[in-house]
Chains A and B, each alone.
Chain A
Amino acid sequence: MNYNTVDILLVEDNPNDAELSIREIKKNNLANNLYHIRDGAEAMDFIFAEGQYSENRDIGSPPKLIIMDIKMPKVNGIEVLERLKSDDRTKSTPVIMLSSSRENPDIAKCYALGANSYIVKPLNFEGFSEAIRSLSFYWLMLNEPPVK
């Protein structure tokens, strides 16, 4: 697969949540080039074309949208977000943060770090589906990406 043409990068450790998310995204025909990464460390490598991605990834071709869970083993989503948004090469990539929690500090922190959206994963799946769909749609279809 060509890692340089990824539209949506999904970073999610919970396989169930990931499957559900992918299903929803697919359902909306948005997942032509969706790439799923299971932890923050790998996400970091992917975004910055390091480690296993150093050979086949060009940092200049970021994914069009990153959907990322906050709570992940090893490196959590906030850490990834922080590095991503503080690097000039990557900070223009839109990022949607996912969380199970409505805990205030996380939301505030994510927005402070420059997250473009923040979704609390709703229990009822319709809500989640709706959220994913509208956000992906917005970021992929409506939003004009930054001119390179």
Chain B
Amino acid sequence: MFKVKLPILVMLSSIACLVMSITVMLGWITNIEILKAFIPGFVPAEFNLAFSVALVSLVLILKYFFPENTRMQWVASALSIVVIMIAAITLAEYLLQLQSGIDELFVKDNTIIYSKYYPGRMSPISALCLLVLAAISYVFHQRKYAVYQFYLLSAIAFLSLVMLIGLVFITDIPAYIHMAIPECLSFIILSTAFWAIQPELHKKISFERKTFAALGAAMLLVVFISTLSVYYSNMRNITAAKIEATNKIQEEAEKTLSLAEDIETSGLAYVLTSDTSSLRYYDKARDKINIQIARLWSVSSGSDSERVWVDSLHFYVNKQISIFQAGIAQRMKANQRLKDYPFNSGAGIYYTNWIRETISQLQQREDRLLSEQLNSNQKNIASFNRAFFVFLSSVMLMLLVIILTFRANIIGRRKAEKLASESQDQVQIIFDSAPDAVIVFDGSGKIIQWNPKAVKLFGWKTEEVVGQSILSLIVPEKYRDQYLLIWDKITADPDIKMKGYDTEIKVINREGAIIDIAISISEASFKNEQIFIGFIRDISEKLAVQQQLESLSRQIDKANDAIVSIDSNNKIISWNEGAEKLYGYGKEVMIGQQIDEVLQTEMTDEGLKYLSMELLEHDYWAGELTRKTKSGKLISIHSSKTTIRDSDGEIQGFVAVSYDISYQKKLTAEVNHLANIVAQTTEAIISVGLDLRIISWNKGAENIFGYSQEEVIGKVVTDLELFSMSENEINDSYVALLKNLSWKAELPAIHKDGNKFFGVINSAIVKNELGDNESIVFIVNDITERKKLEQELKQYSNDLEEKVRVRTMEIERNEKKYRNIFENSPLPMWISDNNTLAFLDVNDMALMKYGYTREEFLSMTAADIRPTEERQKFLNQNLSYDLDIENSNRGIWNHLKKDGTLMKMEVIVHKIMFDEIPCRMVLANDVTDKILAEQKMIASEKQFRNTIDNMLEGAQIIGYDWKYIYVNDAFLKQTQFHKHELVGYSLIEKFPGIEDADIFQDYQRCMNERMVIHKETEFKFPDKQNSWLELRFQPVPEGIFILSVDITARKHAQFEIEKLNQELEQKVSNRTDQLVAANKEMESFSYSVSHDLRAPLRGIIGFANILEEDFGPQMTMEARRILTVIKDNTSRMGQLIDDLLMFSRMGRNEIVKHKINTRSMVSSIIESVNNMEGQAPINWNVHELPNIEGDQAMINQVWVNLISNAVKYSKQNPNPCIEIGSLVHEGQIGFFVKDNGVGFDIKYVDKLFSVFQRLHGSHEFEGTGIGLAIVEKIVTKHGGKVWASGGLNKGAMFFFSLPPAGNQIKSTSIMENINQSR
């Protein structure tokens, strides 16, 4: 916890000191007192001091935070030197009474303080502290200076603390040792920090030293307190004496005064009364007063000013006395005549008053002095009390710290002692239970300690050996000199303390037996004496084992077997003579070689891997290997390998022991071969010992007898009862065997399951190498099968004979049957010789058909019944025919009857043997009629085919294998193929890529799903020409039939039309765009007309107005009239523009249809026109008006124009009457506005609705002639009609009609409206 915080604390400390120093320095630079001293009135810290403290703080930072940085340490050293210089020069100044100028080097000290002798100079204590601090920074981390550092730093801290306390509590510390608050604080902090950052030195400061420092500090404090108390008590004594003196002066002064008064009163009394008793008093007082003044003089001896007072008193008293003396003398002369001697007592009283005054002043002064003294006394006492209290507290605190430290130390010591005793016990235990014998002896070889193991090893008990010489005790005599030399060498070696010394020597035990030991000697010092500790281990056994090992390795070396050890990397480590013998390579060649590289083995990599796995798993592997020897021979070896593991179980390598087994192997192979033969043979081979117990029992025996090898081995063979033999027979056979050495018999044998069979037994005696009988071999063959076969064969031949007999009978029967068929066949049949073609047999039907007799027919050949012209062809064909024909063949031939009639005969030919001659049997059928019919059919088919061939539509038949079966000319024309190019070829090969075309799916659908498909499609032909075809797919039995019409021309025409249409559309769209553009243009035109045309007009009117307003009175009537004309015309122009704009807008604007309440629309218009001035009241007659659908604003305009027209043109009528109503006109809703005004001439009715057409001059009726044109335009836009009727001065009637809102509401809406209005 503290360690973590140390850097922070150090940083804070140095920053605090830096801040304080910088504050002070700033105070000096800006001359602000409070910054220099921190508390007003206190001593200011000097600039040099603050500067030095700042440098020391920096040194602290550099030393602590950059201990490794050489450059930083350089800087720190440089800073320390600066500080040391400053402090040293200051101290020198004090000591030598010099003035070097360093004090005011940086700033001028303008403060005049009573206590300062040298402006700007720091106090000597501060300089000393600085010097010490800076010097200490040079010996940081050096242990040998730790103690000095500790004391010096403690002293600085302590001194600063005392100074700080002194500053605060004691006001009259001698001025030259005054230190300022910031410097006290900085010194405390820095000295503590300097100590704190050297933790490695803390250990060097023992408890005693700390105590010593604290006690020293406490004593210093006590001395300080004592000094202070002496100083203060001295001060008090002085003041007490002073008080006493003052009191005395006052007292004496009082007495003097009373005496002076006595003189006055008694003198005066005598003079007035000449009472001599008064004179007596007078004399007494006069005598006394001088003594009194002398006493006053003596008590005021301390102060000159007081003596002045006393002198003047004395003078006044003498004056007074002399006056009174004179007065008294006169009185005494004059005696009774007082009036004659008037006494001037005034002078005497005058002096008496002076005396009184003087004494009073003296007393006042003394009073003042007294109170001053009392005050200072009190202050001193208070200061002392405070200081005493503070220092006493400090002392108590110190003592408390000391007590606590003691306590901690005592506890620590106790703990340490306990630990020490524990560790001693532990050491003893270790010593006693050490696995080695431990002997401790001194430099002269005397034994000091001897542990139980040593007792066990040497037989000497501890108490027997302690104090004995080790040399004489355990070293055999003959080795003593030798060991002494070693001993000298050990003790002479300076490194022995560090390294120890190990050796192996021979020693002797109590019984006199020599033991081999390993001894390790190390040196130590104990109680400042050199001692040696020897650790001894008995290595006799180890040596014995070593010898054993050596002998073993010699044996291994000499062993016949090849013994090779190999390390984990398969490198040979050892190679014995046996190995050399076996493999032919010498030891020197092989060590370090890879064994498998030099001694090649036939083992595969997998085998090797398996081997090493086995070895790893079981630590042992034994098996056979082949290896190539030096001579290149492959030898078989038996090899056993064992892994060598170290104590951690890691494999270090392995040992292989191998010997040659090549010969053995060969033998084994042969034996195995034989054994295999024996084992696998089907004969039972049983070997039996002379005791008739079974030794071997092969597979054949297992098969034949059913007993397994395990069941019978070791059993007596006769007990198994393998053969049905009586005991006598067995004995006889055994005797025969022994006699003839072999025996043979055919006997019924018995299987394990009880079945009997026949066996042939061959037995023989087997002799060993010595010619003695060793065993008997039985070879048994199962001959049951053979016997059974023999019997079966017999049976078969009997059966066969019977079968042949039955067959013969059957054949005879068949022969008869076939003959019958031949004879009675309804079709002509004959048999002819294959070679001669001569007829060999013929049936009746043939004779009848051909018209020959049997004799005639049988005398002819097959060629004779052919037409002469075909005979040669028949003969030619017949020769080759014979080769092709297998069983039968058929064909249609022309045959001749005897009478020469030609017949179409369908002939079926069979190859048969007839009387051992290869013949053909012919069955003929007259198909003349059938063929004729067929020919007819073909003709008619041809006719159809021609039709199809010559059709304009293309026709094709495609087989299931996609091959063209039929194509007609039209199709060929369409496809531009020749017939031979298509028929027989498949669609796919002729139109490559068609499988991927969409149309192929139609082919397939038609082919597979047997459906009719109708399609128009475009084909690309090889010459890149495109054709449009209309295709009709039809399933037919052969496959599919496709009818195709070339519609290319039609398609082209169609495309042409489409293209034209598109062009037309393009044109329309272009035209529309143009129209839209024109509209736009028109719009902007009218916009600018409305803006720009109106602006000048406005100007004209405006300025005309100004003219009229400003200059009207000066103008003549005519001028004013002309002005009005200008204005009127301009207004008209404006109106014209507005109307024109409105008209054009009507043309442009889109109609937005809404339902319009005609009645309310008309009412509001009437309302607005009714109130026109200069108008006779109009008689309105408004009928029911149905609601309509239309553009609200536009229809409103229609009504406004019509109604305002009616009003306008009837204004000359004194009784204007306007009628508004509705009607149905040509299925539309019509309205009319009728007036009784001026009307119009019906012959100009056509011009009524044209733009700018007026039937009246504007002088009669104002207007622009656009109103009705607008009406016409709006109504027309709505799809309605306008018309008018009237006559000049007969009033006018204007009509307009609008289409009804929609068909479905046409009538109802009107009805509804009518209903509503009712």
When each residue 16-37 of chain A gets 1 if its CB lies under 8 Å from chain B and 0 otherwise, what string results?
1101100100000000000000
CB distance from B1310 to the nearest CB of A (A): 33
A111 interfacial contact with B, CB 8 Å: no
A124 interfacial contact with B, CB 8 Å: yes
**Given A16-B1095, A123-B1130, A124-B1131 in contact, is the A101-B1102 Cβ separation under 8 Å?**
no
B1102 engages A125 (CB within 8 Å): yes
B1091 engages A16 (CB within 8 Å): no
Q: Tell me the complex Cα distance, A132–B1092, Å.
A: 21
Partner of A101, one of B1087, B1096, B1097: B1087
**Given A16-B1102, A17-B1099, A20-B1098 in contact, is the A102-B1090 Cβ separation under 8 Å?**
yes
For A103, what are the chain B residues with a Cβ–Cβ distance below 8 Å?
A: 1087, 1090
When each residue 1097-1128 of chain B gets 1 if its CB lies under 8 Å from chain A and 0 otherwise, what string results?
11101110110000000000000000000000
A121 interfacial contact with B, CB 8 Å: yes
B1134 interfacial contact with A, CB 8 Å: yes
Q: Tell me the complex Cα distance, A71–B1103, Å.
A: 21
Q: Tell me the complex Cα distance, A68–B272, Å.
A: 131
B1094 interfacial contact with A, CB 8 Å: yes
B1090 engages A17 (CB within 8 Å): no
Partner of A123, one of B1094, B1103, B1106: B1094
A123 engages B1091 (CB within 8 Å): no
Q: Tell me the complex Cα distance, A101–B1101, Å.
A: 17
Q: Tell me the complex Cα distance, A121–B1092, Å.
A: 12
Residue of B nearest to A15 (CB): B1099
CB distance from B1109 to the nearest CB of A (A): 9
For A23, what are the chain B residues with a Cβ–Cβ distance below 8 Å?
A: 1106
A100 engages B1103 (CB within 8 Å): no
Most buried by B among A99, A100, A121: A100
Contacting B at CB under 8 A, from A28-81, are 71
Q: Tell me the complex Cα distance, A125–B1141, Å.
A: 21
For B1099, what are the chain A residues with a Cβ–Cβ distance below 8 Å?
A: 14, 16-17, 20
B1087 engages A121 (CB within 8 Å): no
A101 engages B1134 (CB within 8 Å): no
When each residue 1131-1148 of chain B gets 1 if its CB lies under 8 Å from chain A and 0 otherwise, what string results?
100100010010000000
**Given A23-B1106, A123-B1130, A124-B1131 in contact, is the A100-B1101 Cβ separation under 8 Å?**
no
Contacting B at CB under 8 A, from A118-148, are 121, 123-126, 128
Q: Tell me the complex Cα distance, A99–B1094, Å.
A: 10
Q: Tell me the complex Cα distance, A125–B1130, Å.
A: 11
A125 engages B1098 (CB within 8 Å): yes
Q: Tell me the complex Cα distance, A126–B1106, Å.
A: 11
For B1101, what are the chain A residues with a Cβ–Cβ distance below 8 Å?
A: 123-125
**Given A100-B1090, A101-B1087, A102-B1090 in contact, is the A125-B1105 Cβ separation under 8 Å?**
yes
Q: Tell me the complex Cα distance, A126–B1101, Å.
A: 10
Range of interface residues on A (Cβ < 8 Å) = 10 to 19
For A126, what are the chain B residues with a Cβ–Cβ distance below 8 Å?
A: 1105
B1097 engages A123 (CB within 8 Å): yes
CB distance from B1130 to the nearest CB of A (A): 7
Residue of A nearest to B1101 (CB): A125
Q: Tell me the complex Cα distance, A16–B1096, Å.
A: 8
Most buried by B among A17, A124, A126: A124
For B1094, what are the chain A residues with a Cβ–Cβ distance below 8 Å?
A: 100-101, 121, 123
Q: Tell me the complex Cα distance, A129–B1105, Å.
A: 11
Residue of B nearest to A121 (CB): B1098
Residue of B nearest to A27 (CB): B1109
When each residue 81-103 of chain A gets 1 if its CB lies under 8 Å from chain B and 0 otherwise, what string results?
00000000000000000011111
Q: Tell me the complex Cα distance, A68–B132, Å.
A: 92
For B1106, what are the chain A residues with a Cβ–Cβ distance below 8 Å?
A: 20, 23
Most buried by A among B1087, B1097, B1131: B1087
Q: Tell me the complex Cα distance, A80–B1181, Å.
A: 52
B1102 engages A100 (CB within 8 Å): no
**Given A100-B1095, A123-B1094 in contact, is the A16-B1087 Cβ separation under 8 Å?**
no
For A14, what are the chain B residues with a Cβ–Cβ distance below 8 Å?
A: 1095, 1099
Partner of B1098, one of A16, A71, A101, A102: A16
CB distance from A132 to the nearest CB of B (A): 12
Most buried by B among A121, A123, A124: A123
For A100, what are the chain B residues with a Cβ–Cβ distance below 8 Å?
A: 1090-1092, 1094-1095, 1098
Q: Tell me the complex Cα distance, A20–B1103, Å.
A: 8
A17 engages B1087 (CB within 8 Å): no
CB distance from A115 to the nearest CB of B (A): 17
Q: Tell me the complex Cα distance, A12–B1090, Å.
A: 17
Residue of A nearest to B1110 (CB): A23
Contacting A at CB under 8 A, from B1011-1028, are none
For B1141, what are the chain A residues with a Cβ–Cβ distance below 8 Å?
A: 102
For B1103, what are the chain A residues with a Cβ–Cβ distance below 8 Å?
A: 16, 20
A123 engages B1134 (CB within 8 Å): yes
Q: Tell me the complex Cα distance, A124–B1138, Å.
A: 13
CB distance from B1194 to the nearest CB of A (A): 13
Residue of B nearest to A122 (CB): B1098
A17 engages B1098 (CB within 8 Å): yes
Q: Tell me the complex Cα distance, A125–B1131, Å.
A: 10
Q: Tell me the complex Cα distance, A14–B1103, Å.
A: 14
Q: Tell me the complex Cα distance, A23–B1094, Å.
A: 19
CB distance from A95 to the nearest CB of B (A): 19
Most buried by B among A99, A103, A125, A126: A125
Q: Tell me the complex Cα distance, A128–B1101, Å.
A: 11
CB distance from B948 to the nearest CB of A (A): 75
Q: Tell me the complex Cα distance, A106–B907, Å.
A: 111
Q: Tell me the complex Cα distance, A101–B1088, Å.
A: 9
B1095 engages A101 (CB within 8 Å): no
Residue of B nearest to A123 (CB): B1134
For B1131, what are the chain A residues with a Cβ–Cβ distance below 8 Å?
A: 123-124
Residue of A nearest to B1097 (CB): A123
Most buried by A among B1090, B1091, B1092, B1103: B1091
For B1095, what are the chain A residues with a Cβ–Cβ distance below 8 Å?
A: 14, 16-17, 100
For A123, what are the chain B residues with a Cβ–Cβ distance below 8 Å?
A: 1094, 1097-1098, 1101, 1130-1131, 1134
Q: Tell me the complex Cα distance, A99–B1101, Å.
A: 17
For A20, what are the chain B residues with a Cβ–Cβ distance below 8 Å?
A: 1098-1099, 1102-1103, 1106
Residue of B nearest to A14 (CB): B1095
Q: Tell me the complex Cα distance, A14–B1094, Å.
A: 12
For B1091, what are the chain A residues with a Cβ–Cβ distance below 8 Å?
A: 71, 99-101
Residue of B nearest to A99 (CB): B1091
Contacting A at CB under 8 A, from B28-55, are none
Most buried by A among B1099, B1102, B1106: B1102
Q: Tell me the complex Cα distance, A24–B806, Å.
A: 155
Contacting A at CB under 8 A, from B1131-1187, are 1131, 1134, 1138, 1141
Q: Tell me the complex Cα distance, A23–B1099, Å.
A: 13
Residue of B nearest to A106 (CB): B1087
CB distance from A136 to the nearest CB of B (A): 17
CB distance from A87 to the nearest CB of B (A): 28
CB distance from B190 to the nearest CB of A (A): 63
Residue of B nearest to A71 (CB): B1091
CB distance from A62 to the nearest CB of B (A): 28
Residues of B in contact with A (beta carbons under 8 Å apart): 1087, 1090-1092, 1094-1099, 1101-1103, 1105-1106, 1130-1131, 1134, 1138, 1141
Pairs across A and B, CB under 8 Å, 14 listed: A14-B1099, A17-B1098, A19-B1102, A20-B1098, A20-B1099, A101-B1087, A102-B1090, A102-B1138, A121-B1094, A123-B1094, A123-B1131, A125-B1098, A125-B1102, A125-B1105
8 residue pairs, one from A and one from B, having the closest CB atoms:
A123-B1134, A16-B1099, A20-B1102, A100-B1091, A125-B1105, A100-B1094, A101-B1090, A125-B1102
Residues of A in contact with B (beta carbons under 8 Å apart): 14, 16-17, 19-20, 23, 71, 99-103, 121, 123-126, 128
Instruction: Other than A16-B1098, A125-B1101, give 5 A-B pairs with Cβ distance below 8 A.
Output: A16-B1095, A102-B1090, A102-B1141, A103-B1087, A123-B1101
